[in-house]
Amino acid sequence: MGLRDVIAVAAGDAILLADKARAQDVKQAVDILRQKNLSQADEFMLDYRPWGSFDRLARGERFQVKQIQVKPGAKLSLQSHHHRSEHWIVVAGTACVTVNDQVSLISEGQSIYVPLGAKHRLENPGKVPVILIEVQTGRYLEEDDIIRYDDVYARA
C-alpha cells in the first residue's frame, strides 16, 4: 500500500517487483535465473495455444502433470510422441478423443490412456470448455517431442 511507480509481475511460482525506472533491468533478473539453472527464466507455468491453454501443475524427472483447457469447437493437432505416453482425465465437459483408429467420447470423471507412439487428437465438440488433467510419463517431456500429422492451425 502506498507504493508508487512499481512494476509487479506474478507468474505462477515467481514474482518480480521492481521500480518502474528500472524496467530495463528485468533482463538482468532473467540472466541471474538462467545462471542458477532455474526454469522460471524460460518456462512459464501457463501456456496459451490456439485451441486453449495448459497449466503445468507438477514436474519430476520422468513425469509431468498439466491442466488442459480446450475451447468449444477447438481441437489439438493429430500427433504422436517418441518419448512419452499420456493419460487424460476429463474433469469438465466432454472430449472427443482419437487414439490411433479408435474415436471415443470421454465425459467428466472418465479417462483414457494414450500409449507411447500412438497417433492421437483431442477435440471439444461441445459448447463449454473441456478441462482435463494430463499425466505424461517418459524419459523426455519437452514440447518439441510432438510429431504433427494434421493441424487446423497450420503449425509445423
Domain boundaries, the chain: 6-41, 46-150
Residue with cell 514440447: 143
For residues 64 and 141, the answer to whether their CB atoms sit within 8 Å is yes
Single pTM value for the model: 0.78
- Would you state the pLDDT for residue 24? 84
- Would you state the pLDDT for residue 62? 96
d(CA 42, CA 44): 7
- Which of 3.90.230.10, 2.60.120.10, 3.20.20.140, 3.20.20.70 is the CATH number of 46-150? 2.60.120.10
- Would you state the pLDDT for residue 124? 98
- Would you state the pLDDT for residue 104? 97
- Would you state the pLDDT for residue 13? 66
Q: Is 114 exposed, middle or buried (0-12, 13-18, 19+ CB in 10 A)?
A: buried
Question: pLDDT averaged over consecutive 10-residue blocks of the chain (156 residues)?
Answer: 85 78 83 81 77 93 96 97 98 98 97 98 97 97 92 84
- Would you state the pLDDT for residue 3? 87
d(CA 41, CA 26): 11
d(CA 72, CA 59): 28
- Would you state the pLDDT for residue 34? 86
Q: Is 71 exposed, middle or buried (0-12, 13-18, 19+ CB in 10 A)?
A: middle
- Would you state the pLDDT for residue 15? 80
Phi and psi dihedrals of 115, rounded to 5? -70, 160
d(CA 110, CA 37): 38
